[in-house]
Copies of this chain bind each other. A is one copy, B any other.
């Protein structure tokens, strides 16, 4: 098979056995690879009702048909499992260099089943794979884990692993790769920890076969040129993703003090320019990426001076920073470093801390609960301390490591109104009261309160249309129209293709669908048109939705925190706004999607249209 290596590994951790499986071509053609192919396995093999941290859950790593090829940004993989944070289908995605290294072992992905009786790690080397004892790695942070393995196997091995948080089943634990890169969301590091799996080290010499290498080179070359011609590339390279902060703040949608307002007075102390001037040490790129939005940072002053690492990204700056009312970039950067070292999601970590601060402010959380700590908004040292406590499940961190939803359920007293999550996943760095259609995106995403499925923040908050769909224009950010729901659907279908192919969604802002279709065709040798591109994305979205529906989720779960639907934004450009039409938007969105308006399930007709006939009886029996 071209593009794909055509084989996956299946590792039964309970038994300690490893087998090899071919990917049937019919399955490859329908699901292509990456998050979509992994979801196909998960759907077929993990039934409803499974405990996410039990042996029946699977943890699936999958690269895409473009991963490891020299086209722009082709260094990504997806991790898929049922989430311990949300109980939904979950996918996390990451760049760096691990994914091309894994694919070069000769496998597109690996499925982990069961639970190992003792800590192990998987070594994949050029067509072979074995489980090794990881007792000596257990307890180590991400950098030490990676360095220890590389010392054992050689630097050429790339490592994906969990930190101490994953081992301790922190519900917001990540899978980390290349030390600093995170498959961050939904707590999949805890699934890995629950399986006693510490790491996957990979190295190989095999390359995906390209059906038409000449066309591939030609399309690729053109893409690199188009990207270098893009203003967004310049911005992202210069300031990293944090260049977005000014744009979100100016719309009054920058989550501040746990979303109590949308304008952060200290934004100039934490924006892209501030990061570039104060902590940036070097700009780094993922595999084959011409953008280089990665930041190597070093804290230069104060108590953490000399500390180095990667980050912070825009999302991290906002959730660790403005959301906790901390305008100290050194503290934000330090908290980010700790998230990477312990292996926890920066978005969720910052959001939980901000939530705890508001609970403390309102007397819902007291010194008795916190072990004497005063958890106040704006306290930079407390931000850093709580981040570490979550990573270690220490003191109050033990409670907080369960995620906002569970903390709110435990504390009660009205705290659920300002518990900023959807389906248990903490919301990212854009307050939907400032661009209402983004609220629909949070409400319907299969993995919970997520912005990356359709990233409708692109054409709205950051005013940059996506070229990969035909029209991503939103006319009025405060008055969403029925037709805007189609824009969201189209974006979700199109951007899912980046998770599938193993590339970066930023490319969807810079390159149109024709470019991607040309690339996929030249790699696979299949006749793959724009319609196939759209349908393959749509199929993946529907299958993840079906996973949730089969497991008891329904329209009632497609909702938003009351702070967004009932508390008017108190100031700024979005002053007075609430999301008051979510039901209307859901109706229109479901209609666009071919989903049943009452239950939220994909209709039998839609499922059959997408070739998901086997799903019909699961949902409609």
Q: A residues touching B (Cβ–Cβ < 8 Å)? A: 225, 228-232, 234-235, 237-239, 243, 246-247, 250-251, 272-273, 276, 462-464, 573
Provide the residues of chain B in CB contact with A273, threshold 8 Å: 237-238
Q: Are A234 and B250 neighbours in the complex by a CB distance under 8 Å?
A: no
Q: Are B251 and A229 neighbours in the complex by a CB distance under 8 Å?
A: yes
Contacts A228-B246, A229-B251; A234 near B573 (Cβ below 8 A): no
Provide the residues of chain B in CB contact with A251, threshold 8 Å: 225, 229
> Which chain B residue shows the least CB distance to A460?
B229
Q: Are B272 and A234 neighbours in the complex by a CB distance under 8 Å?
A: yes
Q: Are A463 and B239 neighbours in the complex by a CB distance under 8 Å?
A: no
Contacts A235-B235, A238-B239; A573 near B250 (Cβ below 8 A): no
Once the chains are docked, how many angstroms separate the CA of A335 from the CA of B235? 28
Provide the residues of chain B in CB contact with A228, threshold 8 Å: 246-247, 250
Q: Are A234 and B239 neighbours in the complex by a CB distance under 8 Å?
A: yes
Q: Are B230 and A463 neighbours in the complex by a CB distance under 8 Å?
A: yes
Once the chains are docked, how many angstroms separate the CA of A234 from the CA of B225? 21
Provide the residues of chain B in CB contact with A250, threshold 8 Å: 225, 228-229
With beta carbons under 8 angstroms apart, the residue of B225, B235, B243, B462 that contacts A573 is B225
Provide the residues of chain B in CB contact with A462, threshold 8 Å: 229, 231
Provide the residues of chain B in CB contact with A272, threshold 8 Å: 234
Q: How close is A282's CB to chain B, nearest CB, in angstroms? A: 12
Provide the residues of chain B in CB contact with A243, threshold 8 Å: 231, 234
With beta carbons under 8 angstroms apart, the residue of B225, B229, B276, B463 that contacts A231 is B463
What are the 8 closest A-B residue pairs judged by CB atoms, nearest first?
Answer: A228-B250, A229-B247, A231-B231, A229-B250, A234-B235, A238-B238, A225-B250, A229-B463
Once the chains are docked, how many angstroms separate the CA of A380 from the CA of B508? 42
Q: How close is A34's CB to chain B, nearest CB, in angstroms? A: 28
Q: Which of A234, A237, A238, A462 has the most CB of B within 10 A?
A: A234
> Which chain B residue shows the least CB distance to A464?
B231
Q: How close is A230's CB to chain B, nearest CB, in angstroms? A: 6
> Which chain B residue shows the least CB distance to A250?
B228
Q: How close is A177's CB to chain B, nearest CB, in angstroms? A: 28
Taking A225-B573, A231-B231, A231-B463 as known contacts, 8 extra A-B pairs with beta carbons closer than 8 A to each other, sorted by chain A number, are: A228-B246, A228-B247, A228-B250, A231-B232, A234-B235, A234-B239, A238-B273, A238-B276
> Which chain B residue shows the least CB distance to A290?
B250
Provide the residues of chain B in CB contact with A230, threshold 8 Å: 247, 463
> Which chain B residue shows the least CB distance to A251?
B229
Q: How close is A243's CB to chain B, nearest CB, in angstroms? A: 5
Q: How close is A434's CB to chain B, nearest CB, in angstroms? A: 11
Provide the residues of chain B in CB contact with A464, threshold 8 Å: 231
Name 16 A/B residue pairs within 8 A (Cβ), A-sorted.
Answer: A225-B251, A225-B573, A228-B247, A228-B250, A229-B246, A229-B247, A229-B250, A229-B251, A229-B463, A230-B463, A231-B232, A231-B247, A231-B464, A234-B235, A234-B246, A238-B276
Once the chains are docked, how many angstroms separate the CA of A276 from the CA of B573? 33
Once the chains are docked, how many angstroms separate the CA of A251 from the CA of B230? 11
Q: Which of A225, A231, A232, A463 has the most CB of B within 10 A?
A: A231
> Which chain B residue shows the least CB distance to A232?
B231
Once the chains are docked, how many angstroms separate the CA of A383 from the CA of B246? 40
Q: How close is A296's CB to chain B, nearest CB, in angstroms? A: 15
Once the chains are docked, how many angstroms separate the CA of A317 from the CA of B194? 58
Once the chains are docked, how many angstroms separate the CA of A231 from the CA of B233? 10
Provide the residues of chain B in CB contact with A225, threshold 8 Å: 250-251, 573
Q: How close is A515's CB to chain B, nearest CB, in angstroms? A: 14
> Which chain B residue shows the least CB distance to A272?
B234
Once the chains are docked, how many angstroms separate the CA of A464 from the CA of B246? 20
Provide the residues of chain B in CB contact with A238, threshold 8 Å: 234-235, 238-239, 273, 276
Provide the residues of chain B in CB contact with A229, threshold 8 Å: 246-247, 250-251, 462-463
Q: How close is A237's CB to chain B, nearest CB, in angstroms? A: 8
Once the chains are docked, how many angstroms separate the CA of A243 from the CA of B232? 11
Once the chains are docked, how many angstroms separate the CA of A272 from the CA of B228? 13
Q: Are B231 and A235 neighbours in the complex by a CB distance under 8 Å?
A: yes
Q: Which of A228, A238, A239, A273 has the most CB of B within 10 A?
A: A238
Q: How close is A204's CB to chain B, nearest CB, in angstroms? A: 33
> Which chain B residue shows the least CB distance to A249?
B228
Once the chains are docked, how many angstroms separate the CA of A250 from the CA of B225? 6
Once the chains are docked, how many angstroms separate the CA of A272 from the CA of B250? 25
Provide the residues of chain B in CB contact with A276, threshold 8 Å: 238
Once the chains are docked, how many angstroms separate the CA of A225 from the CA of B232? 19
Q: How close is A61's CB to chain B, nearest CB, in angstroms? A: 34
Once the chains are docked, how many angstroms separate the CA of A273 from the CA of B246? 20
Q: How close is A155's CB to chain B, nearest CB, in angstroms? A: 28
Once the chains are docked, how many angstroms separate the CA of A459 from the CA of B239? 24
Q: Which of A228, A235, A464 has the most CB of B within 10 A?
A: A235
Q: How close is A463's CB to chain B, nearest CB, in angstroms? A: 5
Provide the residues of chain B in CB contact with A247, threshold 8 Å: 228-231, 234
Q: How close is A430's CB to chain B, nearest CB, in angstroms? A: 13
